[in-house]
Amino acid sequence: RPSRPQNQSGPSRGQNPLSSRSLSTRRELYEKDFPVYKQPVEVGCFSLDSERRFFNDGRQMRYYVEPDRSPNFDLRDGYKDRFIKRDDSVKEKLDHMLRWILANRSKLSSKGTASSCDLDVDFVTWRGHLTKLLTAPYETREGWLLAVTRFRGTLYISEVETEVARRDRENRTGRHKEMMYWGYKFEQYTCADSVHGRPDPGGVLNTNEAFCTVVQTRLADHRLLFSGEVDCRDKDPNAPAPACYIELKTSAEICTPKQRSNFHRFKLLKWWAQSFLPGVPRVVAGFRDDEGVVVAVETFPISKISHLIKNEHNCWKPTVCMNFCSDFLSFVKHIATEDNPSVVYLLSWEPRRDVTFSVHRDSPYCFLPHWYVEGMTS
């Protein structure tokens, strides 16, 4: 473990991602100008049905229906008798995205133009993995493991569950399990299946179902292709994706200045990072009491969140998040040099440590399936 004073200035281990075996997550190192982040463009979408089957279309898209002024949604309703939960012990890795890529390859590769990589992107990953990178400089509790494979010039990033995360998942309390349902229940109260439809809070809630957007963008000199689950869109037929999308969230109602401050410092960071990445412009939040009743609904435009938090002392900064992510991706490009679908570079991070890595050949960490490797090679 590197030992150095916290306030050391000047060059330190990990400061230059291109000259080191490790990468620092210290905030001070990333307080630079905001890096180039191109407006994300939706290049496609896909859906997962009630049995988690993949469809190369938007059949699971839902439409936002604005709730009443005092909604009184009971988020506990249906937990016992109208809930089908996705099996989160099944690790899907990048499979759904890879299926989408194979089905839409012609949209991505520029055949005929000179390029060192087939897909014309540097990174393929899930939005959720990038969210973890953006928030790492401020994360004090949960570390992560990211597996990286270079294949035909593109770097694929897929998360590996940590031992701690697995233990937490297997030991969730009844109360925690029920509270995880509340977020999905809020979606059911506020979303309809069709443009002119109404929400159906009496129906069965199945968390296998998902609609995912696939976006392309660039962070500094990193061309990114990633997918993220989208909760719903507004009904205006003219609004183009991803500007029409809405992220739904629930949060404990705010009663004290301390609670407000914590909401700004911790929750808004997560909300901002998750939606800023794919260019989703707003979050609709349902504030609920301890009994799971939504007492207020409020819209947070993503572009206003950085102003909202400016009064918090020592608060998170979007530029730190984006600069760390950019440097992390440079670090990955630098270390993951062997182009081979059966080689995995495992990047591991724990709060208050540097990011380190190890290399694994033909190991259980391999995550690019044969059908993908063959599909891309033929």
Residues at the site binding ligand A3P, with contacts judged by CB under 6 A: 180, 182-184, 186, 231, 249-250
| Residue among 1 and 141 whose Cβ is closer to ligand A3P | 141
Look up residue 171 and give its amino acid: N
| From the list Mg ion, ligand A3P, none, partner contacted by residue 250 (C-beta under 5 to 8 A by kind) | ligand A3P
| Residue among 189 and 357 whose Cβ is closer to ligand A3P | 189
Count of residues touching Mg ion (by CB under 5 A): 3
| From the list Mg ion, ligand A3P, none, partner contacted by residue 143 (C-beta under 5 to 8 A by kind) | none
Measured between its terminal Cα atoms, the distance across the chain in Å is 45
Shortest distance, position 214 Cβ to Mg ion, whole Å: 15
| From the list ligand A3P, Mg ion, none, partner contacted by residue 149 (C-beta under 5 to 8 A by kind) | none
Residues 343, 361 contacting (CB under 8 angstroms): yes
Instruction: Give me the 185-224 binding string for Mg ion, x by CB under 5 A, dash otherwise.
Output: ----------------------------------------
Say whether residue 248 binds Mg ion (CB under 5 A): yes
What's the rounded Cα separation, in Å, for the pair 5 and 301?
A: 39
Helices 318-335 and 127-135: crossing angle in degrees, nearest 10, is: 110
Angle at 285 between CA 318 and CA 273, to 5 degrees: 20
Shortest distance, position 179 Cβ to ligand A3P, whole Å: 7
Shortest distance, position 230 Cβ to ligand A3P, whole Å: 8
Say whether residue 327 binds Mg ion (CB under 5 A): no
| Residue among 157 and 232 whose Cβ is closer to ligand A3P | 232
Which one of residues 77, 229, 234, 339 is an interface residue with Mg ion (CB under 5 A)? 229
Which one of residues 139, 159, 209, 231 is an interface residue with Mg ion (CB under 5 A)? 231
Beta bridge partners of 72: none
Pairing of strands 294-301, 123-126: unpaired
Shortest distance, position 370 Cβ to ligand A3P, whole Å: 30
Say whether residue 350 binds Mg ion (CB under 5 A): no
**Chain mean position to CA 7:** 31
Cβ-closest residue to ligand A3P? Answer: 183
What's the rounded Cα separation, in Å, for the pair 88 and 67?
A: 30
Shortest distance, position 231 Cβ to Mg ion, whole Å: 4
Say whether residue 42 binds Mg ion (CB under 5 A): no
Which of left, alpha, beta for 97 (phi over 0: left; psi -120 to 50: alpha)?
A: alpha
| From the list ligand A3P, Mg ion, none, partner contacted by residue 180 (C-beta under 5 to 8 A by kind) | ligand A3P
Shortest distance, position 331 Cβ to ligand A3P, whole Å: 25
Q: CB burial class (10 A; 0-12, 13-18, 19+) of residue 173?
A: exposed
Shortest distance, position 160 Cβ to ligand A3P, whole Å: 15
**Residues binding Mg ion (CB under 5 A):** 229, 231, 248
